[in-house]
Structure 1
Amino acid sequence: MLKYESVSELVAEAEKRNIKISELVLEDQAKSMEKEPLELYEKMEISFQVMEDSIKEGMKKDQKSMSGLTGGEGYLMNEYAATGGISGNFMTKAMARALAVAGCNASMGRIVAAPTAGSCGILPGCLVSLYEDRGFEEKDVVMAMFTAGAIGMVIAEKSSVAGAQGGCQAECGSASAMAAAALVEVMGGTPSQCADACAMAISNQMGLVCDPVGGLVEIPCIKRNVSGLAIAFSSADMALAGIRANIPADECIDAMREVGDALPASLKETAGGGLATTPTGRKLRDKVFGLT
């Protein structure tokens, strides 16, 4: 049985058997849970369908968060994607999907926490885009979610995926690392390249604080899902190009834990610092809670 204590364990075992990380994880989880692999695959397939549904919900023109502070970002970006934008049609549509899922969450819609609600738009924004816009088989995309899940399990074991414990690097950083590894696998990359993409995604969000305005998972959380998605894509592309991570994934995860421990409480989901305590941040908080 796998211990999920290191990315290197996943890579070594997958490469030894000449299989994908997802295949290794599905087999291991089926054995440990005493279930058939098909049953676990079908459950993951349902999660992928929930991701697709949350994108549709968040794309609605009249989508609004419960607080009224945000809403419609997914719709606006999707409309803009038709122009191609600066980043091109594929990337702007992927951004729209990430915004849509995060917006769906803010409006109390059904989402897949991947790994958290605050970072829920990154993985679906990446994988649904490959499926819908690049024509990859659903089976390959769903299987890559097992790879993403395994990376998330390692991060949770070695560090944290909670903003209250490690800052936003633990949420959007972890989600971006999971997505980067999954993207590499779908694109035909090796397990080692999955690990490199994971490492680069984490290193590029090291120290990201959690400073939600009014304590709500909206500002700046929703837009940080787009940044995490962009980092996932760029990290995956670098790994696929043969660019190696200078610091191994496991050491990046350890460093993320150390940085998270060093962050003051005011920058770990308490709304006690950062953007939450700017003049505008305070005004928005007071507006939501009727303090003005």
Structure 2
Amino acid sequence: MRGDHGFPDDHDFLAERFEAHRTHLRAVAHRMLGSLAEADDAVQEAWFRLSRSDTREVDNLGGWLTTVVGRVCLDMLRSRKSRAEESLDQSPDHGAPAPAATAPDPEHDALLADSVGVALLVVLDTLTPAERLAFVLHDMFAVPYDEVARIVGRTPTAARQLASRARRRVRGAPAPDADLARQREVVDAFRAAARDGDFDGLLRVLDPDVVSRSAFGVVVGAAAVASGARTAAHLARVARPALVDGVPGLAVLSEDGQRLVQALRFTFVRGRIAVIDIVTDPERLSRLDVTLP
């Protein structure tokens, strides 16, 4: 579309500038939220806000958009956290103070910032929304503390402390287990406990800070996840053991046995289930490598 003088329409020009930043914004939102679907929602909301704003005085559109996406993600994380806390019977040590700071190691911090492994995602899901935002924006995307502070509504010093606390938690993140035989035992125990409605049995195989992610949202904590698993006992009865992306998991097939309709992908830490990804979206299912025995 062109304006009266043959120049590109302002809206089209703005859309082109936005598209130039979309990949970066999606990466920021994905690290913040741990979900591509939610990341796309956050980026779309950023576009809506941009299209309704007067940005003629904005010198750094990329920085402006990153700030907007950060605020949108912060709101989404706070909403997610409040929903989880409503159903979470927290353990006595949940939210305990972070361990004392250790000497900074720039090389180690750089490796942490580049990591997109599951262990990092597990820890990110246990941080407060403000801690998560400060760590992701500063350590992963080099956003200055002054800008982080404006997003979370704190001083730059407080923003630095938020990132520091998050960094210490990430440093202590355990590596995922790699013992397939033990993982199969844990999955079998999980399926049996869910099938029988055995709450204590579920707690025995779930990490205290387990994170369950599905199309309906994120649930944090063993008690909340176990409660949800008990209500899905009917699915546990029809779920079959499978290798999901090379790791023991569960698969639910259609009645004719020809189509995958749901997959549970697990991450194991310290011999327990630390992350459960419940995949039902057909497109995501098609990208999984699922092998039935």
**Structure-1-length-normalised TM-score:** 0.27
Which has a greater percent of helix?
1
Which has a greater percent of strand?
2
**Structure-2-length-normalised TM-score:** 0.27
Which of 1 and 2 has greater Rg? 2
